[in-house]
Amino acid sequence: MLTNKPKGTNDFLPDEVGRWQALEDLLREVSRLYGYREIRTPIFEHTELFQRGVGETTDIVEKEMYTFTSKGEKSYSLRPEGTAPTVRAYVENKLYAQPQPTTKLYYIGPMFRHDRPQAGRYRQFHQYGIEALGSDDPALDAEVIAMAMDIYRRLGLKDLTVELNSVGCPNCRLQHRQKLQEFLAPKKEQLCKTCQGRYERNPMRILDCKDSNCQKLTEGAPTIDQMLCPECQSHFTAVQKHLHALEVPYNLNSKLVRGLDYYVKTAFEIVATGIGAQGSVGGGGRYDGLIEQIGGPAMPGIGFALGLERILLAMKEQGLDLVADNPVEVFIATMGEDAQLMGSKLSQQLRQEGFAVERDYGNRSFKAQLKAADRYQVRYTLIIGEDELKNNMVQVKDMATGKQEPVALAEVQVYLNRNIRGREINE
């Protein structure tokens, strides 16, 4: 027990973390290019935020939240997604009062859902998400989708499709709700227990149920795209026009409703083939009522969330990798106590200069130290023995060529700057 991690969670060991850091670097860079700035919100929030924000009839809130009470206080939940917390922080900190009309925020971090774990589906997983708050311009919807595709393109991912739909606004949904209830009425008893409850409260959610029997029962059900009001229809047409202009291909998918209640109008999902049943690598949409629902002004918003584990899985599937920089640059091998002291001093000096330095501890044999240097795959090993100590110098061994040359102690920094950084520094 003590050595087992909780089901559905992962340890990321240093080699793997290098890949994550490279991915995160890329995400931060693309965020910058599109004008998004990072926001960091708590890992847990008041449960009510998700009940109100994500929706009480969604799978996430109904079945998947990690909810707890802390010492008799209120109910809290680990965040299952990032939009409601971001919008909460936007409202609480009155970011809407800033001079710029659209606030662009992004987040990277863990999310928690008590789901059945399988390849690509975890109980703690990581999302990168963006939220653009304050504009309902269809050009923004298209840009948000294009940005997600830009990220995948930079990673080299292929064979991704954008599934696009408009889920309308509360007005069009009213009509859809009625039609859907009429369609489902004769099958109501056959629906799963959760969906029977949804029939009255939020029948559209039934279209999103993971239960295969419910999925069968909803085949041929009326879809929202046939009932869009003129405003939603023209918004949707404009989004598509912009996507054409940006040369982002997409599939219209009238069945796409997405698992969160806050979406209106544009909803999209990005699907990868070849990573199994959990093919969705990202998704998002417009949520024009959410800011108001959470207690802020009536302002529109749109965003997406990408699943980082799924992205890395899709990359692996396609033979792509993100290479992290080799961390250690210089190894210092010493023989004898005095040489070790000199090695310690030199390590600190070189680290101050910005070189990643590693050494061997425990006074092991010279051979063992060189072996360690090999394992670290350093560029240079600095060797300090009795002679070098006496003459205030080191032997610099180029690990690629095996060549070795003496360098005066005072010249080591200059030597490494020249050969590793390609910089001339005269001291």
Shortest CB 83 distance to ligand AMP, Å? 8
Among 115, 137, 141, 163, binds ligand AMP (CB under 6 A): 115
The verdict on 180 binding ligand AMP (CB under 6 A) reads no
Residues of this chain, 289-348, that bind ligand AMP according to CB under 6 A: 305, 307, 309-310
The verdict on 57 binding ligand AMP (CB under 6 A) reads no
Among 49, 160, 257, 281, binds ligand AMP (CB under 6 A): 281
The verdict on 59 binding ligand AMP (CB under 6 A) reads no
The verdict on 85 binding ligand AMP (CB under 6 A) reads no
The CA distance from 415 to 401, in Å, is 16
The CA distance from 120 to 278, in Å, is 6
The CA distance from 332 to 194, in Å, is 64
Q: Report how far apart, in Å, the C-alpha atoms of 76 and of each of 69, 72, 80 are.
A: 6, 11, 12
The verdict on 81 binding ligand AMP (CB under 6 A) reads yes
Stretch touching ligand AMP by CB under 6 A, among 17-25, 116-124, 163-171, 342-350: 116-124
Residue number with CB closer to ligand AMP (10 or 254): 10
Residue number with CB closer to ligand AMP (51 or 127): 127
Residues of this chain, 210-269, that bind ligand AMP according to CB under 6 A: 259
Shortest CB 121 distance to ligand AMP, Å? 4
Among 283, 296, 301, 303, binds ligand AMP (CB under 6 A): 283
The verdict on 125 binding ligand AMP (CB under 6 A) reads yes
Shortest CB 274 distance to ligand AMP, Å? 14
Residues in the chain: 427
Shortest CB 118 distance to ligand AMP, Å? 9
Q: Which residues contact 164 (CB under 8 A, 6 or more apart)?
A: 145, 239, 240, 243, 250, 251, 252, 253, 256, 266, 267, 268
Shortest CB 1 distance to ligand AMP, Å? 24
Reading the block at residue 233, the tokens are: 């229809």
Stretch touching ligand AMP by CB under 6 A, among 87-95, 118-126, 214-222, 248-256: 118-126
The verdict on 113 binding ligand AMP (CB under 6 A) reads yes
The verdict on 50 binding ligand AMP (CB under 6 A) reads no
Sign of CA dihedral 315, 310, 147, 224: positive
Stretch touching ligand AMP by CB under 6 A, among 47-55, 117-125, 161-169, 173-181: 117-125
The verdict on 160 binding ligand AMP (CB under 6 A) reads no
Shortest CB 123 distance to ligand AMP, Å? 7
How many residues in the shown chain lie near ligand AMP by CB under 6 A? 17
Shortest CB 305 distance to ligand AMP, Å? 4
Interface with ligand AMP by CB under 6 A: which residues?
Answer: 81, 113, 115, 120-122, 125, 127, 259, 280-283, 305, 307, 309-310
